[in-house]
Amino acid sequence: MDAYTYNEPNRVSAMLLALLVHGLFFSFLFFGFNWHVRSPRHVEVQMWDKLPDMKADAPAPHAAQELPPPAAPPKVAPPPPKAVEPELPHKADIEFKEKKKKQERLKQEEEAKARLEAQKIAEKQKVLAQERQEAARTAMENARIQALKAQMQAELDSERQAQVSHFKDMIQAKIRRNIVMPPDVPDSAEAQFFVIVLPGGDVVSVTLKKSSGNAAYDAAAERAIYKAQPLPMPPDADLARMFRELRLSIKP
């Protein structure tokens, strides 16, 4: 078969389809776009010697047609915020906080206990100080009373001693006046007697305690004691009791 005489099948159909497609394309171009050719406007220019008076009434220029403001877009409510779930604390944090609270509570209790103990100690020391002050005042008062008593006793003893000495001298003087002096008695002779006397001055008994070395003088002194009764006695009954038992020293 000759190559130049071979006819492709469906060649006519393909050509018709191509023409149809091109026709539709040109129709679309023609009807889809509006090709208008506008002629430019005429511009007139006027020449002026001077500028016209702007205050004069001039025809108001054509106000440009105001376009309506664009419609505001509809407000869209923002979505509600999502609830943030609280993050649960870690178990270790909870235990640490609880431990810290417990430690603070124990510390406060210990501080309160320490303050109470300090207050008790202060009150006890205050009471002890008051007791010491009271004891010191009492001791001072007792010392003052004792000193006063001692002074009074000393004064009384001194007065009594003076009275005792005075009445003893009176008794010895009365006894010496009643002595019948034996011969050859030295001036240094001294006889000591123990004498029991009644409250009125009467002599109950006379006992020689120490001899003078001269028996005649001792006997004369004893007789003189009995002759001197009633012996001089102090008027004070308490003081007179001191003369119930006398120790007399008789000298010439």
Q: Identify which of 250, 124, 120 has the alpha carbon closest to the alpha carbon of residue 180.
A: 250
First to last CA, the chain: 218
Within a domain: 40? no
Say if 46 falls within a structural domain. no
Residue 175 domain boundaries: 95-252
The per-residue pLDDT for range 4-18, each reduced to its tens digit, is: 444 555 677 777 887
pLDDT digits (tens, 9 = 90+) for 194-245: 999 998 889 999 999 998 888 999 999 999 999 998 999 888 888 888 888 8
Q: Does residue 165 form part of some domain?
A: yes
CB-based contact 199:233 (threshold 8 Å): yes
In a domain, 112, yes or no: yes
Report pTM: 0.40
- Amino acid occupying residue 209: K
Residue 26, in any domain of the structure: no
In angstroms, the CA 88 to CA 206 distance is 122
Whether 117 is covered by a domain: the verdict is: yes
- Is 27 among the domain residues? no
Q: Total domain count for the chain?
A: 1
Q: What is the CATH number of the domain that holds 214?
A: 3.30.1150.10
Q: Are 197 and 246 in contact (CB under 8 A)?
A: yes
Residue 170 belongs to a domain = yes
SS3 assignment, position 246: strand
Q: Which residue has the tokens 């008789």?
A: 250
